[in-house]
Amino acid sequence: MSYSALILAGGRGSRLGYREKALMDINGKPLLTYVIESLNKVVDNIIISVRDKAQGELLESRFPGFAFAYDMHKNTGPLAGILSGLLVCRDEFCFIAACDMPFINDKVVKMLFQKSEFHDAAIPKWEDGFLEPLHAVYRCKSMIHETRKAIEHGETIILAPVFKLKVNYVGIEEIKKVDPDLKTFMNINTPEDMQKIIKNTKF
């Protein structure tokens, strides 16, 4: 069985001064490069979701050879990118992640694919109940169906379609067995996050 990954790159980076987050430099390489390098170890196909043609042309010029998906809905947040990306996907299951996660652990991704068997999704769950829906595996057909319904009903939060799925929630303690420091979940939302990663991490 082959697997796909969908990288959500359509955000406008409002908390980062509206910079193109996917192209932000981390130790001489674009942020998106780190995400792609991690995912290439475990998936067969990578799809990059973008918000519009202009962004797509910009990223495709830097990352040729990948499949690109364009948002069909406006003002629906990540759900627009998820729907457009999964419609491009040709595999049964797809790992979905944001483009601002430079330390995605391929062993964790493999685990989530394994945990998705006989389910519609495998989603990490913290001890306090917080979920990681943008670091999770989904059965494409089921997620497309529920995401469409959520958008049609004006529900734009990422968990709107998730709660309609048959989900295998994967506890953080189990994930720690392959990623003790849980670096796979680290992301960049603010300039402080960026500086912390550049300062404290060696690639």
Task: For residues 22 and 44, give the distance between their C-alpha atoms in angstroms, rounded to a whole number.
Answer: 21
CATH number at residue 178: 3.90.550.10
For a pLDDT cut of 70, what percent of the chain falls above it?
Answer: 94
Tokens of 50: 């973008």
Q: Which stretch of 47-61, 64-78, 157-171 has the lowest confidence by average pLDDT?
A: 64-78
Average pLDDT over residues 72-98: 93
Residue 89, domain extent: 4-200
Average pLDDT over residues 124-135: 97
Higher-confidence position of 187 and 17 = 187
Task: Give the distance between the most distant pair of CA atoms in the chain.
Answer: 45
Give the number of C-alpha atoms closer than 13 A to the C-alpha of residue 66, restricted to the C-beta side: 29
Give pLDDT, residue 203.
45
Give pLDDT, residue 41.
96
Side chain identity, residue 16: L
Confidence of residue 132 (pLDDT cuts 50, 70, 90): very high
Strand-pair partners of 25: 30
Distance set, CA 69 to CA 26, 82, 119, 169, 171 (Å): 25, 9, 25, 28, 31
- CA-based nearest residue to 3, from 93, 68, 88, 87: 93
Higher-confidence position of 193 and 79 = 79
Domains of the chain: total: 1
pTM for this prediction = 0.92
Enumerate the H helices of the chain as residue ranges: 31-39, 53-62, 78-88, 106-115, 140-152, 159-162, 172-176, 191-200
Q: Is the confidence at residue 160, as pLDDT, over 90? A: yes
- Tokens 């790992």, residue located: 95
Average pLDDT over residues 120-148: 98
Give pLDDT, residue 72.
86
- DSSP summary character for residue 15: G
**pLDDT tens by residue, 5-37:** 999 998 765 455 557 889 988 888 999 999 999
Give pLDDT, residue 56.
92
Average pLDDT over residues 65-77: 88
Tokens of 164: 């309609």
Average pLDDT over residues 82-94: 97
